[in-house]
A and B are shown apart, each in its own frame.
Chain A
Amino acid sequence: MSYQEFKDIFYNGVWKQNTGVVQLLGMCPILAVSTSVVNGVSLGLATTIVMALSNASVALIRQLVPNEARIPVFILIIAVLVTAIQYLMNAYLYSLYVVLGIFIPLIVTNCIVLARVEAFAAKNPASQSAFDGMAMGLGLTAVLAVLGGLREIMGHGTLLSGIDLAFGPSAKSLVITVLPDYHGFLLAILPPGAFITLGCLIAGKNWLNQRAESRQARVEPVASAA
């Protein structure tokens, strides 16, 4: 596989077909968990691992599955992977499991995992598929980080609260109080806050796209003249 191919998959996953602000798939966990940066990034990374693994496994076995049975088989593979990860984390990374525990089963219900398996891994070789899962997951993580950050600042006036749960009590000093003496803005933490903030993010992404397009349109005639 060529470098260009990797680059295309990465650009596609992180920006062009971004799960959070373009494909708008898997909204339930995105809206439910993005109450803070730490929550958002944690779930994003867990989803990234599941997507890379499920894409790779499906790409490996895709020739063995009859077409009409593929969806149940794919869901089965995703559920097995998520449950296995949950067991392993519970046994070997207990403190992280305590933080992420409630989010992990949510990954099975995230339709973006199945969507990538069906749209990409079922037609492509394993390494490309694993990379696609990772790129899509990272794009989702980026959206969750920004969304979580905005909601956390608006809702609690802090950033990175709860980071000590992932990195131990010494990390508590990393918590940033953006707005001191802030009394909190409940709407930002509640589900409507998630919808409103996500709407603003989508608008922002579309605005950037349009600006890039119109700039290109202005540049092109000059280039053709030269």
Chain B
Amino acid sequence: MAKAALMTALNLGAFALFGTALLAFIYNQTHVRIARSVEEEKLKLISQILPGNLYDNDIIRNTKEIAPDPLLGNEGNTTVYRATLKGRPSVAVLEAVAPDGYSGKIYMLIAIRENGEIAGVRVVSHKETPGLGDYIDIAKSDWIRGFDGKSTAQYNDQDWKVRKDGGKFDYMAGATITPRAVVKAVHKALQYFALHRDQLFAGEIR
């Protein structure tokens, strides 16, 4: 009896080992390509939220690592992409995370102009309900463009909410949690920008 149990355990262990080895192999073969795909997708998004007349530098190379901050919702270091026009800082593109989406974290890129106005926001990845909460994605709807040109100077703290909560941002009936999380995260990113503006643009500009 004990022997049979042992054989079963060994058998199960062998399958687990084989499965893990197979996955490790496939991961090894693909992770570089996956990272590249994600990077390409990010650059595509950056070029969407950065109007071409706002920068003339090589934005992909002009980056800076910043430490995690509760206002950005990130856990590790993230990259800031810095745009300049005629040698003067024009736009900073921040990576921010909305931790309180309906189904997990919502990863975003937020482009903020030097004067604190939003140049554009895009959702990089999310797990919101298909057909319901996914209208934050530019592929599904133009909702995210509603942030363009907004700033903390224009809207006060109370305005940075969805209309249902007394703010100024639209939402779609049936999915309030998702836009609420996004609006909150964008607002916090603006606050971060206001506090760290000089630091973000400091250093060598290429």
A207 partner residues in chain B, CB cutoff 8 A: none
Q: Is the CB of A35 within 8 A of B15?
A: no
Chain A at the B interface: SS class: helix
- In the bound complex, how far is the Cα of B111 from the Cα of A12, in angstroms? 55
Q: Is the CB of B26 within 8 A of A87?
A: yes
B61 at the binding interface (Cβ < 8 Å): no
User: What distance in Å separates the Cβ of A106 from its nearest Cβ neighbour in chain B?
Assistant: 11
Which residues 86-136 in A have Cβ within 8 Å of B in the complex?
Answer: 87-88, 90-92, 94, 98, 101-103
Q: Please, how many residues of chain B have a CB less than 8 angstroms from a CB on the other chain? A: 31
Q: Is the CB of B7 within 8 A of A66?
A: yes
* B55-73 near A? 1/0 per residue, CB < 8 Å: 0000000000000000000
Given known A-B contacts A65-B11, A190-B174, A84 and B26 have beta carbons under 8 A apart: yes
A103 partner residues in chain B, CB cutoff 8 A: 130
Most chain B beta carbons < 10 A, residue from A66, A68, A79, A155: A66
Q: Is the CB of A90 within 8 A of B34?
A: yes
A186 at the binding interface (Cβ < 8 Å): yes
A222 at the binding interface (Cβ < 8 Å): no
- In the bound complex, how far is the Cα of B140 from the Cα of A155, in angstroms? 15
- In the bound complex, how far is the Cα of B29 from the Cα of A36, in angstroms? 34
- In the bound complex, how far is the Cα of B36 from the Cα of A90, in angstroms? 10
A180 at the binding interface (Cβ < 8 Å): no
Q: Is the CB of A68 within 8 A of B8?
A: yes
Q: Is the CB of B131 within 8 A of A39?
A: yes
A162 partner residues in chain B, CB cutoff 8 A: 139-140
- In the bound complex, how far is the Cα of B7 from the Cα of A65, in angstroms? 10
A69 at the binding interface (Cβ < 8 Å): yes
B48 at the binding interface (Cβ < 8 Å): no
User: What distance in Å separates the Cβ of B109 from its nearest Cβ neighbour in chain A?
Assistant: 15
Q: Is the CB of A66 within 8 A of B11?
A: yes
B149 at the binding interface (Cβ < 8 Å): no
- In the bound complex, how far is the Cα of B37 from the Cα of A11, in angstroms? 41
- In the bound complex, how far is the Cα of B9 from the Cα of A64, in angstroms? 13
Q: Which residue of B lies closest to A155 (CB)?
A: B131
Which residues 1-34 in B have Cβ within 8 Å of A in the complex?
Answer: 4, 7-9, 11-12, 15-16, 19, 22-23, 26-27, 29-31, 33-34
Q: Which residue of B lies closest to A80 (CB)?
A: B19
Which residues 125-154 in A have Cβ within 8 Å of B in the complex?
Answer: none
Residue among A33, A68, A91, A102 making CB contact with B30, cutoff 8 Å: A91
Q: Please, how many residues of chain A have a CB less than 8 angstroms from a CB on the other chain? A: 34
A221 at the binding interface (Cβ < 8 Å): no
* A33-48 near B? 1/0 per residue, CB < 8 Å: 1011001000000000
B125 partner residues in chain A, CB cutoff 8 A: 101
A189 at the binding interface (Cβ < 8 Å): yes
Residue among B22, B33, B127 making CB contact with A102, cutoff 8 Å: B127
A92 partner residues in chain B, CB cutoff 8 A: 30, 33
Q: Is the CB of B139 within 8 A of A189?
A: no
B85 at the binding interface (Cβ < 8 Å): no
Q: Is the CB of B12 within 8 A of A73?
A: yes
- In the bound complex, how far is the Cα of B22 from the Cα of A84, in angstroms? 8
Q: Is the CB of B127 within 8 A of A90?
A: no
Most chain B beta carbons < 10 A, residue from A69, A162, A189: A69
Given known A-B contacts A87-B30, A90-B30, A35 and B131 have beta carbons under 8 A apart: yes
A77 at the binding interface (Cβ < 8 Å): yes
B173 at the binding interface (Cβ < 8 Å): yes
Q: Which residue of A lies closest to B33 (CB)?
A: A91
B129 at the binding interface (Cβ < 8 Å): yes
Q: Which residue of B lies closest to A93 (CB)?
A: B37
Given known A-B contacts A76-B15, A87-B30, A32 and B37 have beta carbons under 8 A apart: no
User: What distance in Å separates the Cβ of A28 from its nearest Cβ neighbour in chain B?
Assistant: 13
B132 at the binding interface (Cβ < 8 Å): yes
B23 partner residues in chain A, CB cutoff 8 A: 80, 83-84, 87
A-B contact pairs, 7 of them (CB 8 A): A32-B129, A69-B9, A73-B11, A77-B19, A79-B19, A80-B22, A103-B130
